[in-house]
C-alpha cells in the first residue's frame, strides 16, 4: 500500500499499541474547583464501577464549568465476589482522581440487578429500590444519570428499571432532569451532544485506568478517545439533524435529556442541543415537560 491512508492507519495502530503500555491508576488527583454553594447536585447511577468514567463527560463538565457536586452510586460491584472489594477500591481511586463523591448504597452488590430479578426476587428488588430512594432523597439531585432502557447489558437495563422504581417512590412532587446514557448499545435518538476537549478526554481515560481489573481484560481506557471521536460522527446527524455538517470539534459524548415528571421520564422538547466546551450547560436545567408548563401557566 502506497497511498497516504496506509501511513495514517499505521500511525493510528501504533498509537493504540503505545496506549496499552501506559500506566494504570495511581495518579495524583486532578485539580478541580470546590463545589459552588447552591450549585445543582449531580448523581450518576453506575451499573458497575467503571461506568461512571465511561459516561462521565457531562458530569465532568458540569463540575468544572458550573461548580456542581458529582456523586456516584455503584448499583453493583459485579458478579465475581472475589473482585468486589478490589472494584470498590478502584471506584474510590477513580472518583478521588476526578474529585467526585462515592455515595454509600446499602444494597450495593447485594443482589443481581437484572430485569428478571424484578420478577423473581421482588423482596430483594424492593430492598435495593428502597436503598436507592433513600440516596435520592438525601442527595436531592438536580440531574440523575442512568443507562437507557435498551443498553445491551442486563445489569444496565436493570439499573434503568431500578432507577424508575426509586424515583416513583419519592412521590409525584419530586422533579429532576434525567440524562440517559449509552455504551453497550447506542441511543437511536439522542438529543444532547457534549463536546470534550482533549483535556476532558485525557482525564476520563486516566480515571478509567484506575479500574485496573477491568481494563486489563478489555482496554476501555485506551479506546475511550475512539468512542468520543465516534460521538462526533453520530451526533452530527442524530442530534444536529440529518445532513448536518459535523461540528468543528474532535471528541463528543451523546445523551438523551429528559425530565422526571413524577411518573415517568419526559423527553426534553424541541431540537437537539449541541453544547461546545465551555458554553451552554445551563440550558440543560431550563427545559420543562409540556404538561408542567401548562399547569404552571394556569396557576399564574
pLDDT tens digits, residue range 144-186? 999 999 999 999 999 999 999 999 999 999 999 999 999 999 9
**Is the residue at 287 inside a domain?**
yes
Pairing of strands 192-196, 143-147: unpaired
**Is the residue at 2 inside a domain?**
no
112 burial (CB, 10 Å; 0-12 / 13-18 / 19+) is middle
**Domain containing 225 — which CATH number?**
3.40.50.10320
**Is the residue at 86 inside a domain?**
yes
pLDDT band at 198 (very low <50, low <70, confident <90, very high): very high
**Is the residue at 7 inside a domain?**
no
**Is the residue at 6 inside a domain?**
no
What's the structural domain count of the chain?
1
Is residue 32 over pLDDT 50?
Answer: yes
Query: Residue 184 in contact with residue 154, Cβ under 8 Å?
Result: no
Structural domain including 192 reads 39-299
**Is the residue at 23 inside a domain?**
no
Q: What are phi and psi for residue 163, nearest 5 degrees? A: -65, -45
- For the entire predicted model, the pTM comes to 0.92
**Is the residue at 19 inside a domain?**
no
Instruction: Please state, rounded to an integer, the average pLDDT across all residues of the chain.
Output: 91
Amino acid at each position: 500500500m502506497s497511498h497516504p491512508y496506509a501511513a495514517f492507519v499505521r500511525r493510528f495502530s501504533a498509537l493504540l499499541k503505545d496506549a496499552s503500555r501506559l500506566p494504570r491508576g495511581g495518579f495524583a488527583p486532578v485539580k478541580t474547583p470546590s463545589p459552588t454553594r447552591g450549585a445543582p447536585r449531580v448523581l450518576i447511577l453506575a451499573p458497575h464501577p467503571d461506568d461512571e468514567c465511561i459516561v462521565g463527560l457531562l458530569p465532568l463538565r458540569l463540575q468544572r464549568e458550573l461548580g456542581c457536586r458529582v456523586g456516584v452510586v455503584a448499583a453493583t460491584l459485579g458478579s465475581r465476589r472475589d473482585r468486589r472489594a478490589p472494584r470498590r477500591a478502584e471506584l474510590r481511586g477513580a472518583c478521588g482522581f476526578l474529585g467526585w463523591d462515592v455515595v454509600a448504597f446499602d444494597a450495593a452488590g447485594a443482589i443481581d440487578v437484572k430485569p428478571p430479578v424484578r420478577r423473581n426476587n421482588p423482596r430483594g428488588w424492593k430492598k435495593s429500590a428502597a436503598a436507592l430512594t433513600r440516596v435520592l432523597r438525601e442527595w436531592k439531585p438536580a440531574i440523575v444519570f442512568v443507562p437507557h432502557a435498551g443498553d445491551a447489558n442486563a445489569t444496565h437495563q436493570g439499573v434503568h428499571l431500578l432507577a424508575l422504581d426509586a424515583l416513583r417512590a419519592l412521590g409525584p412532587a419530586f422533579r429532576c432532569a434525567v440524562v440517559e446514557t449509552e455504551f453497550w448499545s447506542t441511543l437511536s435518538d439522542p438529543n444532547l451532544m457534549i463536546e470534550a476537549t482533549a483535556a476532558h478526554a485525557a482525564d476520563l481515560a486516566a480515571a478509567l485506568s484506575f479500574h485496573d481489573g477491568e481494563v486489563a481484560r478489555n482496554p476501555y481506557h485506551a479506546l475511550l478517545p475512539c468512542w468520543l471521536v465516534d460521538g462526533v460522527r453520530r451526533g452530527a446527524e442524530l442530534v444536529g439533524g440529518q445532513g448536518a455538517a459535523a461540528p468543528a470539534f474532535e471528541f463528543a459524548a451523546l445523551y438523551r435529556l429528559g425530565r422526571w415528571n413524577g411518573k415517568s421520564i419526559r423527553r426534553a422538547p424541541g431540537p437537539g442541543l449541541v453544547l461546545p466546551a465551555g458554553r451552554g450547560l445551563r440550558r440543560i436545567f431550563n427545559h420543562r415537560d409540556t404538561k408542567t408548563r401548562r399547569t404552571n401557566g394556569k396557576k399564574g
